[in-house]
Amino acid sequence: MDRSLEEIEGDVWGEPPAGATRLVATVHELRRRPVGQLAVEDLRTLVGQQVGLDVVVPMVLDLLAAEPLAEGDFYPGDLLAATMRVPVEYWRAYPSWAARLRDIVDAVDVDDEYLRREISAFRGRGY
């Protein structure tokens, strides 16, 4: 867990392009950080941008299994919401991970209406 996404994937992005948005600059920086040092918000950002999924999704699923409503910078459950928004094609390529996410979603107790809608949309996509 002391290697970065760039090291694990063997794909160095380098510095963000001139004039890059803060989000783009953040993603570039996160790709250079050791994955063991990624916080919930970092994981939410990477998953939301669909960057490094093959590396971060197993980490995210472990985290969500222990704390389904893990919170980045936005709201309780924002990591779960970002993970549920990963395209269905990705989950089809990793059916055991999709099953694990379904189990997490099925077990979560949600009071928040927004997160309930996210869960409903996730289920509506055929998971």
CA 26 to chain centre: 15
What is the C-alpha separation between 82 and 51, in angstroms, rounded? Answer: 12
The whole-model pTM stands at: 0.94
Q: Are 34 and 9 in contact (CB under 8 A)?
A: no
DSSP 41-93: HHHHHHHHTT-SHHHHHHHHHHHHHH-TT-B-SSSBTHHHHHHHTS-HHHHHH
User: What's the pLDDT tens digit per position in 41-80?
Assistant: 999 999 999 999 999 999 999 999 999 999 999 999 999 9
